[in-house]
Homo-oligomer: A and B are copies of this chain.
Amino acid sequence: MSTLAAQLEQMESHRSVFENAVRDLPLPVCKAFGPAAAPQALRFASQGEVLSTRDSATVAARFPQTVAASGNAVLRVAGPAAARVSGKRVAALFSGGPAAGGHNVLCGLKKMLGADNTLFGVKGGPKGLLQGKLFEITDADAATILNTGGFDFLGTDRTKIKTAEQFEQVKQTCIAHNLDAIVIIGGDDSNTNAALLAEFLYTGIKADGSGVQVIGAPKTIDGDLQVPGLLPISFGFDTATRIYAELAGNILQDTRSSLKYWHFIKLMGRSASHVTLEVALQVKPAVTLISEEIAEKKLSLGAIVEQIASAVVDRFKNKGLKHGVVLVPEGLIEFIPEMNALIAELNDLLAHHADAFAALAADARPAFVAARLSAASAALFASLPDYIVSMLLAERDSHGNLQVSLIPTEQLLSDMVGARLATLAADVPFATQHHFFGYEGRCGAPTLFDAAYTYNLGLTVGALILEGRTGYMASVSGLTSGGEPLAIPLTGLINVERRHGKDEYVIEKALVRLDAPAMQFFTGRRAAWAADDCFASPGPRQLWGPAARQIPMTVALNEGAEALLFKIGE
């Protein structure tokens, strides 16, 4: 075998040139932790900031022990820990969709626990916790996964721990492995689950009658887990949006090179439009739809189509441009009030006429449905392309709901814009391409920001565990001014929401606020971006060199930062 072939074989299994190099990249730590080589444990204390929601009383009744212990007060660093704690056995798991930086949470946690405590990884998410799939994470493991993307070291799943039987299984896992603490790295639902577990495991689990601590870490590429002033952003958002922004920037540059296509790009991000807004700020496309604004202004599908069609016409008539980019948030459909009404009517109608509907031939179904819709919904239904009608009449999920995320919104909009242009301005060229950027962004190598942020989150989680805390989500605030580890009481974030006819405890998703500085900046600039090309290409994420230390633009604007640089440990 040639020398080179041997080298290439050695690059298999996570040993690419990049992966080998990035493992040696040093990460800054917040000053509170002392020296990066040997970060110190911390003492936390309340400074009197108490959180509440509209349902705090109900929540206090459901979570009596954790609320009594925390008083829903935010914990900030009060100094180094008085003494070194040893002998703790801690299990960490990933929950929900993957996000860049999860591995570094484990690395930071391992570093803080040190050699005199034990860290276990839980394989395959919450389900693995139920099944007791634990293994010890070594220093060598941590060195291997440092600064790498994905959740593949442990795997993840979407199991919600809800039933009494499941809670009992968790208890058995705690006993079997003699655990002192569980760390749940996940989004809003997973952190709600962490709160429920913290309450359930609060006492009486171990032989001496003590409980098992539960600490959460804020993960989601969607960016909808935010707490003003306390949690600027969830981890994974920066990496995902930088990946999507590079791709969208490449495509904008392609439109200006090839001079012939309008590209409609749908972006992952669930309900909230944080991802779409961040990508728009990075690349400055001709048209960007923000779901929250569409809902607020009660725009119809027709009005959205008209808005895009006008941009197409104006760019051609005023500047001769036959190209452009339209950014579409994944959750758009549900934020268009009339679509929401139509879907609700359809869900009802199909539930009530299930047998009659099922007996019909496929081509008779649209008329059957149309005759039973309200006038407004019938008109909207009639305006939709055939393939969307088929999807709207397709099988429901187990709750009788339409799977809205499967609707190809980017194709729907471009087809309707095309149809509108045929009557509005048939002389305006309009050739299209479609994209959905999603899975590509969840497991990329973390940006330097996500790598540093998550490592410090891991250190914070570890410090909270060593201090014996439970029922908190770790956070690092002040990301552009040195970084401050803190702990947010989970019960201080929880509301009660009616879902599928039942009251459920939830951490409310943070949506894009129209009065937020990032949204204000966007609305101030978008007319200029629509009128003529003034896009930028954010380029590939750099881990070394002069372009490595960016922070998301939405975060920087909303936090009132003075520059686009994160400054952890400075």
Contacts and interface: CB of A to CB of B under 8 A. Distances in A.
A439 B246 CA distance: 12
Interface string A531-563: 001111111111111111010010011001111
A509 to B, nearest CB: 21
A562 B3 contact: yes
Contacts of A534: 12-13
A2 interface: yes
Interface string A1-26: 01111011101111111110110100
Contacts of A257: 94, 98, 150-152, 155-156, 442-443
A535 B250 contact: no
A517 B8 CA distance: 13
A537 B445 contact: yes
Interface residues of A, number: 86
Nearest to A541: B540
A282 interface: yes
A328 interface: no
B254 A442 contact: yes
B536 A16 contact: yes
A48 to B, nearest CB: 30
Contacts of A149: 250, 253, 537
A525 interface: yes
B563 A7 contact: yes
Nearest to A148: B537
A284 interface: yes
Contact of A545 (B7, B535, B544): B544
Interface string A124-161: 10000000000000000000000011111001110000
Nearest to A248: B440
B444 A16 contact: no
A281 interface: yes
Interface string A96-123: 0110000000000000000000000000
Interface centre among A258, A263, A284 (most CB of B within 10 A): A258
Contacts of A294: none
B539 A445 contact: yes
Nearest to A281: B8
Contacts of A391: none
Given A14-B537, A16-B539, A545-B544, A253 B9 contact: no
A543 B541 contact: no
A560 B1 CA distance: 12
A391 B255 CA distance: 27
A3 B525 CA distance: 16
A332 interface: no
Contact of A256 (B19, B150, B556): B150
Contacts of A4: 556-557, 560-564
Contacts of A440: 247, 250-251, 435
B539 A18 contact: yes
Contact of A439 (B157, B433, B443, B543): B433
A433 B254 CA distance: 25
Contacts of A550: 17
Nearest to A521: B5
A22 to B, nearest CB: 7
A232 to B, nearest CB: 14
Contacts of A258: 97-98, 151, 155-157
A190 to B, nearest CB: 14
A540 B254 contact: no
A22 B539 contact: yes
Nearest to A433: B439
A214 interface: no
B8 A553 contact: yes
Given A8-B281, A8-B553, A546-B21, A536 B254 contact: no
A488 interface: no
Interface centre among A444, A533, A544, A562 (most CB of B within 10 A): A444
Nearest to A98: B257
The 6 A-B residue pairs with the shortest CB-CB distance, nearest first, are: A544-B545, A18-B539, A150-B253, A152-B256, A151-B257, A253-B443
14 contacts: A4-B561, A12-B284, A12-B535, A16-B537, A17-B547, A17-B550, A21-B546, A22-B547, A98-B253, A150-B254, A155-B258, A251-B439, A435-B440, A542-B545
